[in-house]
A and B are shown apart, each in its own frame.
Chain A
Amino acid sequence: MSQQSNVRLFVLGALMLSLVLTLIGRLFYLQVMTGEEYKVAAVNNTVREVVEPAVRGLILDQVGRPLVSNRTSLVITVDKIELSREPDGGEAVIERLGRILDLPAEEIADRLKPCGSEGAKPPPVCWNGSPYQPVPIAQDVDPQTALTVMEQGQVYRSVDARLDAIREYPAPFNVNAAHLLGYLGPLTEEQLEEQGPTTASDRLRRTDAVGRSGLEAYYDEEVRGKPGITTLAVDTAGRVTGTLEQFDPEPGQYLISSLDARLQSVVEDQLVRAVQRAQRQGNPGDSGAAVVVDVKTGRILAMASYPTYDPSIWVGGVTQKQFEKLMDSGSLASNATQGIFAPGSTYKVVSTLAAGKQGFDLNGTYDCPSRVKLGTQVFRNYESAAYGDISLARALEVSCNTVFYGLADRMWEQAGGDDAGRDGADPVADAARQLGLGEATGIDLPVESEGRIASREFKIENWERKRDTWCKNAVEGYPETRKSAPELADYFTALDQENCADGFRWREGDALNASIGQGDTAVTPLQMAMVYAAIANGGTVYEPRMVKAIMSADGSQIQEIPPIVSNEITGSRARQSIRFLQRSLPRVTTEGSGRDPFSGFPLDQIPVASKTGSAQVTGDKVSTAWFASYAPADDPQYAVVMMVTQGGLGSKTSGPSVRKIYEALFGVDGQDVNSRRSVLVDGKPSSNLPVIRQDGTPVIPLGKDSGLPEARETVTARGDEGGG
């Protein structure tokens, strides 16, 4: 054969070899060099998750009564994708659905609008879930209506009915506890984005409802449980080709609260009565709070806030009207943990601690004139009463302001007076900080206010913040105000000139005001309760806790939450001061400003330590009525603090309600004390944990102690009793 042919055949063979090598090379690159990313793509391609939601854990009170449980509900949902496919954009469907569900069509339309879109109402009315997820528009629909919707599948292609487990509030003894328990809401886009890489069972999904406030939010992870996840292998057509993994849902854990439903009910009731009492005196009495804490552990036994709202309003989402009403009423935030108020004379325990630590003679005598003059300012006693030379204990009993002014004045001068710099001593503020004021208590709730301590430091910080405005106003001289009221403008201008020049200075007047809990000082009622609990137990400041244990849904695993000490007051002078307070405060109840509300109370059997407070608030005509206390004074168990804003005198408005709470706690009837009459089962905070049966139902006290209607005594965990 020709040479030409041989050469060509050789070239062809070489070409074939190069083709083979090309394939092998490319194969090596795809499989060995970059194989991993394709592996991931393959997994996404072929795996589908089926999620079976977990049942949320119950929240029980200290003896096992359910405060929050579950039940089933027929829910009507609208699929927005399907709805948008309707020729008229779904208007007719919404119209028709509104007629069947007896809801205005625009309310349904509002519910379907994604939050943040044009014309959308604020959350929770708008939809903040995924656009691919059916929007629930009505819960607890009766089965007949649900059937109507489902049977007309052709007409309502976008509408469906499904059975959901939803939250229920059994309300033993008609407790409300709305601010403590909190509520659920759909997962927000931010929460969804925030979560980093998680396992499938820990991952939050768009369809999840999560705790938005209260215990539901703080313990969301524990209560949420883990959804059952079945990982299916599917083909391109979506047909299931096999099951790769399967995890059964793990029900959420139960919260065993230290709250007692029956006590909570009494406290809520007594708070309302205190408010009514204020109003009967002609005072506005617009809001209030009450806290009962176990001084030995820092656990919250009851905590109420006025005004409040019905927690079940959140179940199924609120309507626009409901939400506006809720916002206007000011009942969404808890006054007990989020409201900050001037503590008034209840703060004198802080000043006493400060004075004792500074070395003032706690058993000495101090002058109690009717007033103290400071330049042009006059600082008075209540009703300008004068007691002459009295002991410090007596000063606490009668709540003599001028004695504390004197102490504060001397402490201020010792620190260097007007010339003390930023680092000048500030004993009252230090004592307040020691007792946990001016910072979050650390309670197991998602939000709380820190409050404020009037102090040198605060003054400087405040001046640095406001200086520019003050100085600007001082130069401009309030031209607008000047047109109508030139004198007022002069006054404002002079004030701002002074503030601009040396508003950072901790003045004598500031120190005096601070000593009696006025001025810039503000506390939450919870903080005050923890202060009195610390005095009661001899100086241990606890982090308040509302949950004492977390249990698995079958009761088999228990994680106890021990009391947490946030600060221990040490030092002999400080300990002496605490003991001095422990000796003095019971006499406030027997002989001082706390006597009236406790007249007829068996104080010989149950001595009560107390301090009243009637704090002046700028802008308010009527003072804030405080009553802070603990009992029994000889072996303290409970601290009870109540306050009503614009409520008048602490002893007149809050005092009687606090007395009623002690009567309920100790089982007082007239002069007779019997712990079997106590609202607490066994007459004291339960030291045992409630029992949870294997099926998830808690064992609760029977009969009148259950606080539930007889038919409801069997509480179901899974919510399989109601609905269709």
Chain B
Amino acid sequence: MANLFRMQASDAAVAPQRDRGGGYWRDLDWILLIAAVALSLMGSLLVWSASRADLASESDPQSYLKRHLINIGVALVLGFIASRINYRLLRAYTPVVYVASMVLLLVPFVPGLGVTIAGARAWIDVPLGLTIQPSEFAKITVILMMAALLSERRDREEEPSAQDVLLALAVAAIPTAIILVQNDTGTVLILAAVSLSIVAVSGVRTRWLVGLIGAAILGVLASIQLGLLQEYQVDRLTSFINPNEDVSASAYNANQAAIAIGGGGLDGYGLFEGPQTQGNFVPVNESDFIFTVAGEELGFLGSALLIAFMAVILWRAVLIAWKADDLYGRLVATGVAAWLAFQMFENIGMTLGIMPITGIPLPFVSAGGTSMMATWIALGLLQTVRLHSLAVQRSEV
């Protein structure tokens, strides 16, 4: 634990960043940035379309869009800051940030501060009518913390020690447990997938991996068997199997989502023209179900383009992980990539009826300030890893 704060020798060599043709703006992964910006702009249009129908009778039907654009602005600034964080300092302050985020995660339980949305007590009420979802930040800090722990190993060791692995799992288990209590099932699943990915790429023995996957499956089965999950949670998770049978509650959502997306056809109804979207038939279609707006109004061509942007981001993230100079950077990039990949798959998958319905947003696209900021910060971290790797490579040449 003590050597966690010890600087590595190579870090010192990183400091002069402008050497040999390098430089922040030149080294930045522009493809990654452009894909993310494109996705955010596309998201803004979709949020606009989805929210104007809700707000048609209000004085300013564009108010939701304006707030979304401000959120993106703030998120870009935060992402920029994250990309300029000193790699060394980042690692040094990770435990502090982790602990802080765990504390923040507990705030929703404080009466008067916590807000329950869609059955999940996962939001904090802040002034100006805004809410913060601390579990979004927890995803980042868990990634950073696990990466730090698992890349911290003695020389010549090929793989993390059992102690490190257990410690890393504990780091993931704490927020997972809290979030589980908050009824935010979707985020729990994402955290599980992210932790598993980080542990896997950290190079642990295969038996660890098999054990973990087995434990996860057993855990889910046991919690259903033992009635640990509330009945509605099971319903929510299983209603996607046959949404037509029960046109109530979450089955209704799945059904309406399918109608919206299926109705979009090849080229869609056109922006602002989707009957399901404009008639508000799909619930929370500016955030969790934003993809139904893309499906209905932009059709297969538009929504496949959206997925393509997402795929570009994942490709760049995995590439950054691949080319990372050290294990820490690789694990951070892996964690972010896994996070974005699974969250995208879960979110879009539930609107397509192939994943259970959970309340998680589509990265870069959905409305929701906390999520937008967290994903842009994650993007900044990817850039940091890349910038650091490029700088090290240049210094080694």
Q: Is the CB of B345 within 8 A of A9?
A: no
Task: Tell me if A233 is interfacial: C-beta within 8 Å of chain B.
Answer: yes
What string of 1s and 0s marks CB contacts (under 8 Å) between B336-362 and chain A?
011001101100110011100000000
- Decide yes or no whether B73 CB sits under 8 A from chain A: no
Is A190's CB within 8 Å of the partner chain B?
A: no
Choose the segment among A16-24, A72-80, A116-124 that binds chain B (4+ C-beta atoms closer than 8 Å): A16-24
Contact B275 A38 (CB under 8 A): no
Question: Of all chain A residues, which has the CB nearest B300?
Answer: A31
Contact segment of A234-242, A402-410, A411-419, A643-651: A234-242
- A38 close to B263 (CB less than 8 A): yes
In the complex, what distance in Å separates the CA atom of A431 from the CA atom of B295?
75
Chain B binding surface SS class: helix
Cα(A5)–Cα(B276), bound, Å:
46
Binary A-proximity of B287-323 (CB < 8 A = 1, otherwise 0): 0000000011001100110010011001000100110
CB-CB under 8 A from A5, the residues of chain B are: 201-203, 327, 330
The reply to whether B310 and A43 form a contact with Cβ atoms under 8 Å apart is no
A28: interface (CB < 8 Å):
yes
Instruction: Report how far A42 CA is from B326 CA in the complex, Å.
Output: 52
Compute how far the CA of A22 lies from the CA of B200 in the bound complex, rounded to whole angstroms.
23
Whether A31 contacts B280 by the Cβ 8 Å rule is no
Cβ-defined partner of B352 (8 Å) among A4, A20, A27: A27
Q: CB of A100 within 8 A of chain B?
A: no
Contact present for B278 and A42 (CB under 8 Å): no
Bound CA–CA A235/B281 (angstroms): 6
CB distance from A6 to the nearest CB of B (A): 8
- Asked whether, in the complex, the Cβ of B310 is within 8 Å of the Cβ of A9, the reply is no
- Which residues of B from 47 to 78 have beta carbons under 8 Å from A? 53, 56
Closest to A11 in B: B200
Interface size class of A (residues with CB under 8 A): 35 or more
Across-interface contacts of B204 in A (CB, < 8 A): 4
Query: What residues on A are CB-neighbors of B296 within 8 Å?
Result: 42
CB of A8 within 8 A of CB of B201, answer yes
Closest residue of chain B to A31, judged by CB? B300
Q: A35-B263, A241-B56 are in contact. Are A46 and B352 (CB under 8 A)?
A: no
- B158 at the binding interface (Cβ < 8 Å): yes
State A30–B348 Cα separation when bound (angstroms): 13
Task: Report whether A19 and B341 are in contact in the complex, using a CB–CB cutoff of 8 Å.
Answer: yes
Of the four ranges (under 10, 10 to 19, 20 to 34, 35 or more), the interface on chain B belongs to 35 or more
- Does any Cβ of A come within 8 Å of B259's Cβ? yes
Please, which residue of chain A has its CB at the minimum distance from the CB of B268?
A31
Contact with A along B240-263 (1 / 0, CB 8 A): 000000000000000010111111
Distance between Cα atoms of A394 and B29 in the complex (Å) = 121
Cβ of A15: which chain B residues have Cβ within 8 Å of it? 341
Give the complex CA separation of A401 and B41 in angstroms.
103
Which of A8, A37, A47 has most chain B Cβ within 10 Å?
A8
Contacts of B200 in A (CB 8 A): 8, 11-12
B152 within 8 A of A: no
| Least CB separation from A40: chain B residue | B263
In angstroms, how far is the closest chain A Cβ from the Cβ of B340? 9
Chain A, residue nearest B158 (CB): A2
Chain A residues with CB under 8 A of B311: 17, 20
Interchain nearest-CB distance for B165 vs A (Å): 13
Considering the chains assembled together, what is the distance between the CA atoms of A629 and B324 in angstroms?
114
B276 touches A16 (CB 8 A): no
Contact mask for chain B residues 201-215; partner A; CB cutoff 8 A; 1 contact, 0 none:
111100000000000
Q: List 10 A-B contacts (CB under 8 A).
A: A9-B321, A12-B201, A12-B318, A22-B345, A23-B352, A26-B354, A31-B261, A39-B262, A42-B259, A235-B279
Q: Other CB < 8 Å A-B pairs besides A23-B349, A41-B259, A235-B53, 17 of them?
A: A2-B203, A4-B159, A9-B318, A17-B311, A19-B341, A19-B342, A23-B345, A27-B352, A30-B258, A30-B262, A31-B265, A45-B281, A233-B275, A233-B279, A236-B280, A241-B53, A241-B56
Q: What is the interface of chain B, defined by CB distance below 8 A to chain A?
A: 53, 56, 158-159, 197, 200-204, 256, 258-266, 275-276, 278-281, 295-296, 299-300, 303-304, 307, 310-311, 314, 318, 321-322, 324, 326-327, 330, 334, 337-338, 341-342, 344-345, 348-349, 352-354
Q: Which 5 pairs show the lowest CB-CB distances between chains A and B?
A: A38-B262, A35-B265, A4-B203, A5-B203, A42-B263
